[in-house]
Amino acid sequence: MSPQAAVAAGCSLSSGFNVSRVRGDFPALDQLVHGRPLVYLDNAATTQKPRVVLDALFNFYTRDCANVHRGVHELSRRATEAYEGARRTVARFLNAAPHEIVFTRGATEAINLAAQAFARSILREGDEILLTELEHHSNIVPWQLLAEQTGARLVVAPINDRGELLMEELERRLSPRTRLIAVAHVSNALGTINPVAEICRMARARGIRVLVDGAQAAPHVRIDVRALDCDFYAFSGHKLYGPTGIGVLYGKAELLERMPPYQGGGDMIRSVSFEKTLFNDPPYRFEAGTPHIAGAIGLAAAIEYLTGLGLDEIARHEYELLSAATRALSEIPGVRLVGTASHKAAVLSFVLDGIHPHDVATVLDHEGVAVRAGHHCAQPLMERLGLPATTRASFALYNTLEEVEVLARAVRRARELFG
Ligand code: PLP
């Protein structure tokens, strides 16, 4: 296909990825905002949902709606099969075993679960938890709470001005008291892809446990928890084209087996008497109460959709968007890109000289372009960078090179209005 024909057919030039066809799968993209076609570039906050996910939710609620693991009737059997099928789909996606997959409300709950049910039991006063300067609050505050409860200490590994982890500094901060490293796979504010495999190798050599916060990696990066050899991996469904309110904690089977429950209630028990309760096996031990059944089913539909499109194709397409956006914004006078790591996912933070990021985002909104402005739940990172906030455009598989141009035009407009 000639380059012109490829563009006409909606294909991304280098990958052959048919973005026009893909966009047709996402009903929410087809709307006007302030009279302009929506350009949705707030995907790091949450993604739009393909029709297959909406259909999975609709079908569950209209045909199979019943509670899981309990009823003997047909609908309960179907609901249980779909819910456990979703667990198998997630396990395949991560290269894990189904009993290593705990459904949670999201990455935040997954990290809190690992902190309270696992790390709490291994930490003693004076022990250390190593974090990095570019963590999301969800991967800081649970560890801070735990440090207060146990007398452990947080140690923070620094980044350079490009937003890359300084690996030698990280290694230098590992001490005989380090029990756990909690690190983002991909930074939500900067897009940096961290060398988590190398971090896991360093940790393993010293008997340190690792939790990887994969909230921003799951939509962009192929994940293999066996190859990484991390102990825990957390992500959210809604950033991965799935429903809100559902997420995943992967934990190594041998660790989940040793962990006490996180919450008490139905489904997490084997037997209950007033004298003693025997707990269920993992992963059920960590899923007290009625789970988000529809959410898990919707998440599995999203994963099947993604893998059907091809994770490598998606990555290539997003790389093309990121490269084009990086070039387009760099050419605008007064724009400074924030986060220029050599290894990045499709997240582009920037500031515009003399204009507050919220004002930039407001102008962009009036042009139909949805971006995020603020500290991105990464206040320590913003402090490190000496910025109160940035404007962030984050791309997804359904974004186009044309939308990158609309973004650049809208940023120029903001500059004209405020400059
Ligand atoms: N970790 C990172 C890197 C994130 O970007 C986010 C959300 O933005 C989270 C954790 C928390 O995800 P959730 O709010 O879905 O639990």
pLDDT in tens, the chain (419 residues): 333 344 334 444 445 679 999 999 999 999 999 999 999 999 999 999 999 999 999 999 999 999 999 879 999 999 999 999 999 999 999 999 999 999 999 999 999 999 999 999 999 999 999 999 999 999 999 999 999 999 999 999 999 999 999 999 999 999 999 999 999 999 999 999 999 999 999 999 999 999 999 999 999 999 999 999 999 999 999 999 999 999 999 999 999 999 999 999 988 889 999 999 999 999 999 999 999 999 999 999 999 999 999 999 999 999 999 999 999 999 999 999 999 999 999 999 999 999 999 999 999 999 999 999 999 999 999 999 999 999 999 999 999 999 999 999 999 999 999 87
Q: How many whole angstroms from 141 Cα to the centroid of ligand 1? A: 12
Between the alpha carbon of residue 98 and those of residues 89, 103, 249, 252, 282, the distances in Å are: 8, 11, 11, 11, 10
Q: How many whole angstroms from 136 Cα to the centroid of ligand 1? A: 7
Task: From the CA of 109, give the closest atom in ligand 1.
Answer: 16
Q: How many whole angstroms from 190 Cα to the centroid of ligand 1? A: 14
Q: Does ligand 1 come within 6 angstroms of the Cβ of 100?
A: no
Q: How many whole angstroms from 349 Cα to the centroid of ligand 1? A: 17
Task: From the CA of 377, give the closest atom in ligand 1.
Answer: 8
pLDDT at 267: 85
> Which protein residue has the closest C-alpha to ligand 1 atom 12?
107
Domain(s) labelled CATH 3.90.1150.10 in the chain stretch across 3-30+310-418
For residues 124 and 334, the answer to whether their CB atoms sit within 8 Å is no
Q: Does ligand 1 come within 6 angstroms of the Cβ of 236?
A: yes
Question: Looking at this protein, which amino acid is placed at residue 339?
Answer: G
Task: From the CA of 107, give the closest atom in ligand 1.
Answer: 16
pLDDT at 9: 41
Q: How many whole angstroms from 237 Cα to the centroid of ligand 1? A: 10
Q: Give catalytic residues, as residue numbers.
A: 377
For residues 329 and 405, the answer to whether their CB atoms sit within 8 Å is no
CATH of domain 3-30+310-418: 3.90.1150.10
- Which class in CATH covers the domain with range 53-307? alpha beta
pLDDT at 418: 87
pLDDT at 70: 80
Q: Does ligand 1 come within 6 angstroms of the Cβ of 136?
A: yes
> Which protein residue has the closest C-alpha to ligand 1 atom 8?
45
pLDDT at 13: 47
pLDDT at 16: 62
Domain(s) labelled CATH 3.40.640.10 in the chain stretch across 53-307
Q: Does ligand 1 come within 6 angstroms of the Cβ of 184?
A: yes
Q: Packing angle between helix 293-309 and helix 74-94, nearest 10 degrees?
A: 40
Q: Does ligand 1 come within 6 angstroms of the Cβ of 12?
A: no
Q: Does ligand 1 come within 6 angstroms of the Cβ of 213?
A: yes
> Which protein residue has the closest C-alpha to ligand 1 atom 14?
108
Q: How many whole angstroms from 215 Cα to the centroid of ligand 1? A: 5
pTM for the structure as a whole? 0.95
